[in-house]
Every structure is written in structure tokens, then in C-alpha cells.
């Protein structure tokens, strides 16, 4: 393994993150705080409780997921798209680093960033609502797995994208709707039966549900199903990344 | 000397069907400076990109330092540094950081003393803390060179290093190449400028339409360049060249009015004086005499023209 190579990529990507610290950290924290104010205080005062948990606390796992998913996709896709766009990718391609090392460097950095942001949002939420975490280990496990798998997806999007427009297309048109419709801000038991069934096809539901279970011990779908969903999703992403490097898709001519 | 880079039957056909390289064979000796000349689109960059691993070959094999560039890519690539033609740099990055990044990427531990030396050699040391975006075009090119040298490569590829570069930087670059040669670094550079090849290369290769047309010692090429032709126009046409002039290998034109004599300016005796004497002795009258010299440029242009046929 070329550990120096992995470290070089990882540090380079993290440096980018800390260079734009305001954009990287302040903006997700600010937007999350706004969600708390709007959903927690304004709407939450009318909803009161969901299955014994105050609405303000209930939305915390969903809010963290929303940020972590978007940040993972954005950071990872931008991280690999930008060198492609400005041409510095030549150096990565001509360096003695394997595909695995490139992925560890880029995806590792992107996942670290979203993990940081997720943690910051969690800490922020303590200022707004009372939360207890019933299964801290599983909470962390779900969080890390989500960061990694969606950073992998972001990496794939970054390689696939040929323009900045395409880069934003998937997060905007696919992921954001899935997150909002995936029970981030409600329990699907609140929905009419037909929509409950449809929601079961939304992969994000399984993430949010599993993550929420780690906090409050309640879930829309069985925890095992959540775990299965996220590991399958990670495996599929890994498979695609493996194929990309094997074939040189949109990387090499 | 042994070949540090070996290219065997290398072919590259792009997806659109364009054949950029047609069975290229090339041996680059350790420690030499090889200049690859060729018009735009000749395949110079494709050849370099394929050796460096940026482009996947359609068929054929390449080894660097005895390591196959695909099966043993780690060992092969560690030996190679590449300065690309385009100025590809991240504008917001700092000079020193980007050079450190390159060194790490190529699997070497941090060595700031070595990097300091490179930056000083390239007159970049004062700019080490500056952002890439603040640098001039020439300075950016120096950063690219610093990046390529950061991991102490044994083989350095310079793709059009002096295209659009001012005279000062070009001279600096030549000096740098000379220093690297003293350290035993093998250098392959592509260029449009024939005088550049003349100034610094040991061997010159000419490439066009994906084929290497010629690869020769610069000294041998220079002696070909030293060849001159004398065109002698006669007052009256002659049927045959008189036997007394047989030693000169004169070429008679079809109408018998012109004799052409080839000679070396580099040899101690050109034979012009005796030829003129012997012509007079044979009773041949001269109307006019012209001399012309073949240059590397002529050789190059002729080769490229022939290959176009």
C-alpha cells in the first residue's frame, strides 16, 4: 500500500475543507438551526409528541441524516470532479497509487467531513432539545456507514458528471426528495396506508429509521432491515467504483 | 548503456477510431536527453501519456526501469516524473503544499530540505507561501516542473516545456535540464522548436501521424545538416560527365545544363577548388554557381512530407 499517497490525497482534501471553514461548517449549522426553529418550535408546538418523543427531538436524527447525506454527496463528488475539471487529475492517474488508495483518500476525506458536520449538528441540537441516545454504538455505526456509503455515491457522481450542472443534478433531483419523503420529519405511521407502502421503496427511509432507533429505540422498519439496506447500498457503490477503475470509465482514454 | 524506457509495438486507437500511435518501438537509454519533434497531432503527447499511465494502450507493451507500466505500475511510475503541456494546477492551493502533495502521492516521505532545493533551483522559493492563482504563467510552469521533480524521478518527461515561455525561462529550463543530466536523470522532451532540440538533446526523434520516422544521434543529424550542395550551371549542355571528373560523383541534370556536387563543410577539404580547376581543364564553361545547405528543419519537413504521402 502507498500510505504516503493515501495520506497526501486525504490531507489535500481536508485542507480544502478547512480553507473554506465558514462554508463548510457554519452554513450547515445555520440551516439546521433554522430547521429547529421552524419545525421544532413553530410546527412542533402543535404536533407535541410522536410515539412518546417530543417532536423537536424526534426530528434530530432526520436532520442529521439530511445534512450528512447532502454533505457526503457534495464533498465527495466535488472532490473528484474538480481535479477532472481543471486537469490536475493527470497527476493522480500517473502516480503509483492504486484505485483502492485513490478511493480511500477521496472517500475517506469526504466521509470525515460529513462525520464532522453530523457531529456538530448533533451537538447543536443539544442546545435546542432534550435528547438521550439509547444505543450510542449503533448511532455511531449508522452515522459512519451513511457517511462512507454516500461519499462513495458522491465519488461515482463526480466521475460520471461532465459538467457542474450534472454534478448538482443527482443531489438535487434524487437525493433531496428521497430524504424529505423518507420520514426525516415524520413517522410513516402518520401517513395513509398507501403512502406507507410506497415509502418502503425509499432507501433513505431505512437509514433514517435505523438511525432514529439508535436514539429513541423506535423505528418505522426493523433495525435488521436498516442494517441490511445500508450494507447492500455500500456494497453496490463499491462494486461500481471498482468497475470504474477497472474500465477507466470517464477517467482514462 | 541500457534502455531505461522500452516501448514495444505500441498501438493506441481512440474510441472514435482515430489511430494516434501505430506500432511504435522506442528504446530510451538511461541518462540521455531525447527530443521528440513532430507537428501538432503527431502523437507525441499520446506516446508520453501512455508511458505515464494516463492513457491505456490498445496493444503493445511499455517498461520503465524493467518494470511493466501496467502489471508493475507502482515500481514503474515511481521512476517517472511528468510535466504536462497544459498548465494544470489547482488555483487556490499554495505552492509548497502542492509540491508536498506530489511527493506524497508518489509514495515518498516528507523531505522539505530536498523540496527547498528544487524550489530554489527553479527560482520559486520566494513564492513558496503564495497561491498558485497569484503566479504568472511562467511561474506556474515552474511549479509543474517542481511537482514532477518532487519525488526524485529517474525519468522526466517534459511535454512542450517551452511553448509560450519567455526567453529567460527557456534558458533557465535548459540549464535545469543540464543539471538533471549531470545527476543521471533521463529526459524526454517534446518540442516544436528545432533549435531547442539542437541545443540540448543527445538524440532526436521525429514523429508524425503516430509513427516514429527517425531517431538518430544529434551528432549524426548535424553532419547530415553539414552537407551542402553546389549547383553548377554550364554555358553549354554536355552529353556525359567527362571521365576526368569521375571522382566527384557529379549528378548531371536531364538537359545536361546543370551539374550538382555534394560536399561536407565539416571535412578538411571540400574539393571545390580542385573541382573548379578540373572543370576548366575539361573545357567546360560555367554560367553560374549556387550553394545550398540542408538543415535539420529541411530533414524534418521532408520526413513529415514523405510520411504524409
Cα nearest neighbour of B153 on chain A: A95
Identify which of A191-200, B124-133, B211-220, B235-244 has the greatest average pLDDT: B124-133
Comparing A46-60, B63-77, B287-301, which segment has the lowest mean pLDDT?
Answer: B287-301
Higher local confidence (pLDDT), B40 or B163:
B40
B292 DSSP β-pair partners? B229
pLDDT tens, position by position, B143-159: 999 999 999 999 999 99
Q: Give the residue ranges of DSSP H helices in chain A.
A: 3-19, 21, 27-35, 44-47, 55-86, 89-94, 99-126, 136-160, 164-170, 176-180, 193-199, 203-216, 223-247
Q: Which of A82, A91, A253 sits opposite B105 (nearest CB)?
A: A91
Average pLDDT over residues B206-219: 88
Residue recorded with cell 522559493: B125
Do A94 and B80 make contact, defined as CB atoms within 8 angstroms?
A: yes
Is residue A91 within 8 A of residue B90, CB to CB? The reply is no
Is residue A76 within 8 A of residue A152, CB to CB? The reply is yes
CA distance B114 to A218: 59
pLDDT tens, position by position, B71-94: 999 999 999 999 998 889 999 999
Average pLDDT over residues B285-289: 90
CATH 3.30.70.1560 maps onto chain B at 227-293
CA distance A160 to A237: 13
Do B54 and A252 make contact, defined as CB atoms within 8 angstroms?
A: yes
Q: Does residue B226 surpass a pLDDT of 70?
A: no
DSSP state of A20: T
pLDDT tens, position by position, A50-77: 878 888 888 899 989 988 998 999 999 9
> B211: how many CB neighbours lie within 10 A of its CB?
16
Cα nearest neighbour of B48 on chain A: A94
In chain A, what residues touch B15 (CB-CB under 8 Å)? 253
CA distance A117 to A132: 19
Q: Does B16 touch chain A (CB under 8 A)?
A: no
Contacts of B122 (CB under 8 A, 6+ apart): B142, B145, B146, B172, B176
In chain B, what residues touch A15 (CB-CB under 8 Å)? 97
- How many contacts (CB atoms, under 8 Å) link A and B? 82
Q: Does residue B227 surpass a pLDDT of 80?
A: no
pLDDT tens, position by position, A87-107: 999 999 999 999 899 999 999
B37 DSSP β-pair partners? B191, B206
SS3 track for B267-292: CCCCCHHHHHHHHHHCCCCEEEEEEE
pLDDT of res. B295: 64
pLDDT tens, position by position, B179-202: 999 999 999 999 877 778 878 899
Alpha-carbon distance values, B44 to B28, B93, B303 (Å): 15, 30, 16
Q: Does B150 touch chain A (CB under 8 A)?
A: no
Is residue B142 within 8 A of residue B122, CB to CB? The reply is yes
The ipTM value here is 0.87
Domain boundaries, chain A: 3-247
Q: What is the CATH number of domain B3-223?
A: 3.40.50.300
In chain A, what residues touch B108 (CB-CB under 8 Å)? 4
In chain A, what residues touch B90 (CB-CB under 8 Å)? 82-83, 86, 88
In CATH, what is the architecture of B227-293? 2-Layer Sandwich (3.30)
Is residue B84 within 8 A of residue B55, CB to CB? The reply is no
Q: How far does the CA of residue B87 sit from the closest CA of chain A (Å)?
A: 8
Q: Does B89 touch chain A (CB under 8 A)?
A: yes
Comparing A21-30, B32-41, B249-258, which segment has the lowest mean pLDDT?
Answer: A21-30
Q: Does residue B266 surpass a pLDDT of 70?
A: no
In chain A, what residues touch B109 (CB-CB under 8 Å)? 4
C-alpha torsion B120→B122→B123→B129, nearest 10: -70
Amino acid at each position: 500500500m502507498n500510505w504516503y499517497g493515501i495520506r497526501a490525497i486525504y490531507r489535500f482534501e481536508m485542507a480544502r475543507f478547512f480553507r473554506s471553514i465558514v462554508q463548510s461548517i457554519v452554513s450547515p449549522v445555520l440551516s439546521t438551526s433554522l430547521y429547529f426553529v421552524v419545525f421544532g418550535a413553530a410546527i412542533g408546538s402543535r404536533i407535541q409528541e410522536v410515539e412518546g418523543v417530543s417532536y423537536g427531538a424526534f426530528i434530530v436524527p432526520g436532520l442529521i441524516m439530511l445534512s450528512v447525506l447532502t454533505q457526503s454527496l457534495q464533498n465527495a463528488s466535488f472532490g473528484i470532479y474538480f481535479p477532472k475539471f481543471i486537469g490536475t487529475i493527470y497527476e493522480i492517474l500517473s502516480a503509483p497509487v492504486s484505485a483502492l488508495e485513490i478511493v480511500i483518500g477521496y472517500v475517506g476525506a469526504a466521509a470525515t467531513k460529513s462525520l464532522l458536520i453530523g457531529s456538530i449538528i448533533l451537538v447543536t441540537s443539544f442546545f435546542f432539545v432534550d435528547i438521550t441516545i439509547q444505543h450510542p454504538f449503533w448511532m455511531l455505526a449508522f452515522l459512519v456507514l451513511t457517511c462512507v456509503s454516500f461519499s462513495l455515491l458522491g465519488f461515482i457522481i463526480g466521475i460520471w458528471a461532465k459538467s457542474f450542472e450534472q454534478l448538482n443534478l443527482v443531489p438535487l433531483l434524487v437525493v433531496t426528495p428521497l430524504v424529505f419523503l423518507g420520514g426525516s420529519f415524520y413517522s410513516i405511521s402518520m401517513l395513509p396506508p398507501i403512502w406507507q407502502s410506497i415509502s418502503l421503496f425509499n432507501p433513505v427511509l431505512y437509514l433514517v429509521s435505523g438511525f432514529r432507533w439508535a436514539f429513541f429505540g423506535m423505528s418505522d422498519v426493523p433495525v435488521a432491515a436498516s442494517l441490511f439496506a445500508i450494507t447492500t447500498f455500500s456494497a453496490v457503490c463499491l462494486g461500481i467504483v471498482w468497475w470504474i477503475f477497472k474500465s477507466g470509465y470517464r477517467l482514462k482514454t | 548503456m541500457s534502455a531505461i524506457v522500452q516501448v514495444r509495438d505500441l498501438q493506441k486507437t481512440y474510441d472514435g477510431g482515430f489511430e494516434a500511435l501505430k506500432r511504435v518501438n522506442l528504446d530510451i537509454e538511461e541518462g540521455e536527453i531525447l527530443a521528440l519533434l513532430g507537428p501538432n497531432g503527431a502523437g507525441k503527447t499520446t506516446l508520453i501519456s501512455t508511458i505515464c499511465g494516463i492513457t491505456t494502450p490498445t496493444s503493445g507493451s511499455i517498461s520503465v526501469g524493467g518494470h511493466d507500466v501496467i502489471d508493475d505500475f507502482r515500481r514503474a511510475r515511481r521512476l517517472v516524473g511528468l510535466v504536462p503541456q497544459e498548465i494544470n494546477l489547482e488555483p487556490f492551493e499554495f505552492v509548497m503544499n502542492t509540491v508536498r502533495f506530489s511527493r506524497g502521492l508518489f509514495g515518498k516521505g516528507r523531505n522539505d530540505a530536498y523540496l527547498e532545493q528544487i524550489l530554489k533551483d527553479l527560482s520559486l522559493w520566494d513564492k513558496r507561501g503564495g497561491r498558485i492563482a497569484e503566479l504568472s504563467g511562467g511561474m506556474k510552469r515552474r511549479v509543474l516542473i517542481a511537482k514532477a521533480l518532487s519525488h526524485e524521478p529517474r525519468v522526466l518527461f517534459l511535454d512542450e516545456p517551452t511553448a509560450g515561455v519567455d526567453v529567460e525561462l527557456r534558458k533557465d529550463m535548459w540549464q535545469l535540464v543540464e543539471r538533471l543530466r549531470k545527476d543521471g536523470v533521463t529526459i524526454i522532451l517534446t518540442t516544436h522548436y528545432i533549435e531547442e532540440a539542437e541545443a540540448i538533446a543527445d538524440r532526436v526523434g521525429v514523429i508524425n501521424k503516430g509513427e516514429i520516422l527517425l531517431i538518430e544521434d544529434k551528432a549524426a543529424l548535424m553532419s547530415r545538416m553539414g552537407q551542402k550542395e553546389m549547383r553548377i550551371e554550364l554555358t553549354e549542355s554536355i552529353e556525359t560527365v567527362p571521365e576526368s571528373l569521375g571522382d566527384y560523383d557529379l549528378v548531371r541534370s536531364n538537359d545536361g545544363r546543370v551539374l550538382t556536387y555534394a560536399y561536407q563543410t565539416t571535412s578538411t577539404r571540400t574539393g571545390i577548388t580542385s573541382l573548379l580547376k578540373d572543370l576548366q581543364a575539361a573545357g567546360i564553361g560555367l554560367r553560374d554557381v549556387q550553394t545550398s545547405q540542408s538543415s535539420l528543419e529541411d530533414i524534418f519537413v521532408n520526413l513529415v512530407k514523405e510520411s504524409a504521402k
